[in-house]
């Protein structure tokens, strides 16, 4: 009986203490903090339906270097590990890899594709899609992209497999940069031990209804005149190449790998490979005149 009385007294005291203690509302949990990604591991963009593609001009890895009524030339630089934003390609475009590249091409609405390109490798696309480029294995991505702003129409491959379609036969002879000159026999890339350097070798890469794309390989120290027809010619220098372009007024311009130059019609130039030991290459784009509404 004495133990029961003590237990009852204890329970009574506990009840009084709980009654006198203030009632506290449960504390709200702190909002979850968004983790900040480490600098060495940036968030990976994704070409998901939720992503909104941006114009190529607004994509921060695309640096506009030349623009007129016929072309926009971009130097694309992605320092790995990184990726572009999902961006639009509204126009047909040609491109050239500056250095070896390994990357993922994620086209909106299609499975991602892993791609490897060698230095100087060329490509062409009809455009009309959105995609992003993501680097792989710490390999940076350097690229020259040339948007062709006038309608290109049908495409014919020639001498280089840069898009799906039948290959056309390469010519048996090489012609000087000046298309009005007579064809010459094929020549090695290196200059002959005696006599002047051989003329540059021209290869027709691709032709559309709106433009013609050629490559020109100059042997060491080789020079060639170039007449510029209307509406003009776009030059783009290949990787590890250097040229000097002399203008009719006596001025000149030094160009290195990836540099573009628009040549105005009616102003002949002389193009010289400044290397004394190795060949250098460049790309030439000829265009049909744009509609009268287009202006440079």
Could you state, in order of their start, the residue ranges of all structural domains in the chain? Answer: 56-148, 155-287
Contact between residue 271 and residue 240 where contact means Cβ atoms under 8 Å apart: no
Is the pTM here over 0.85, yes or no?
no
Average pLDDT on 265-272 reads 94
Whether 252 has a pLDDT exceeding 70, the answer reads yes
What pLDDT is attached to residue 130? 96
Assign domain 155-287 one CATH number from 2.60.120.10, 1.10.10.10, 3.40.50.2000, 1.50.10.10: 2.60.120.10
CATH 2.60.120.10 is right for the domain spanning 56-148? yes
Whether 264 has a pLDDT exceeding 80, the answer reads yes
Q: Count CB atoms within 10 A of the CB of residue 286.
A: 17
For a pLDDT cut of 70, what percent of the chain falls above it?
Answer: 68
Closest among 65, 83, 82 to 74, alpha carbons compared: 65
> Can you tell me the distance from the alpha carbon of 99 to that of 249, in angstroms, rounded to the nearest whole number?
35
User: Which two structure tokens, joined as six digits, stand for 16?
Assistant: 């009084």
- 155-287 has the same fold as 56-148: yes
- Tell me the pLDDT band of 105, cut-offs 50, 70 and 90: very high
């Amino acid at each position: 009986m004495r133990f029961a009385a003590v237990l009852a007294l204890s329970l009574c005291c506990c009840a009084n203490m709980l009654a006198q203690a203030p009632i506290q509302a449960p504390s709200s949990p702190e909002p979850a903090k968004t983790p900040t990604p480490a600098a060495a591991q940036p968030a990976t963009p994704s070409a998901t339906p939720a992503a909104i593609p941006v114009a190529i001009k607004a994509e921060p890895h695309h640096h506009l270097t030349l623009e007129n009524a016929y072309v926009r030339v971009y130097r694309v630089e992605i320092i790995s590990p990184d990726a572009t934003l999902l961006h639009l390609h509204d126009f047909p475009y040609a491109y050239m890899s500056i250095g070896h590249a390994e990357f993922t091409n994620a086209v909106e609405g299609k499975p991602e594709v892993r791609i490897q390109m060698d230095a100087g490798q060329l490509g062409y696309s009809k455009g009309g899609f959105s995609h992003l480029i993501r680097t792989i294995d710490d390999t940076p991505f350097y690229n020259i992209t040339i948007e062709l702003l006038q309608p290109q129409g049908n495409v014919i491959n020639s001498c280089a497999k840069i898009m799906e379609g039948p290959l056309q036969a390469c010519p048996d002879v090489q012609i000087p940069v000046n298309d009005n000159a007579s064809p010459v026999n094929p020549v090695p890339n290196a200059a002959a031990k005696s006599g002047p350097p051989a003329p540059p070798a021209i290869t027709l890469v691709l032709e559309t209804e709106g433009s013609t794309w050629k490559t020109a390989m100059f042997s060491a120290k080789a020079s060639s005149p170039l007449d510029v027809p209307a509406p003009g010619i776009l030059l783009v220098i290949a990787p590890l190449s250097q040229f000097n372009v002399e203008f009719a007024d006596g001025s000149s311009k030094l160009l290195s790998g990836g540099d573009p130059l628009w040549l105005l019609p009616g102003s002949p130039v002389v193009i010289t490979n400044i290397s004394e030991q190795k060949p250098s290459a460049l790309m030439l784009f000829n265009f049909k005149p744009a509609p009268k509404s287009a202006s440079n």
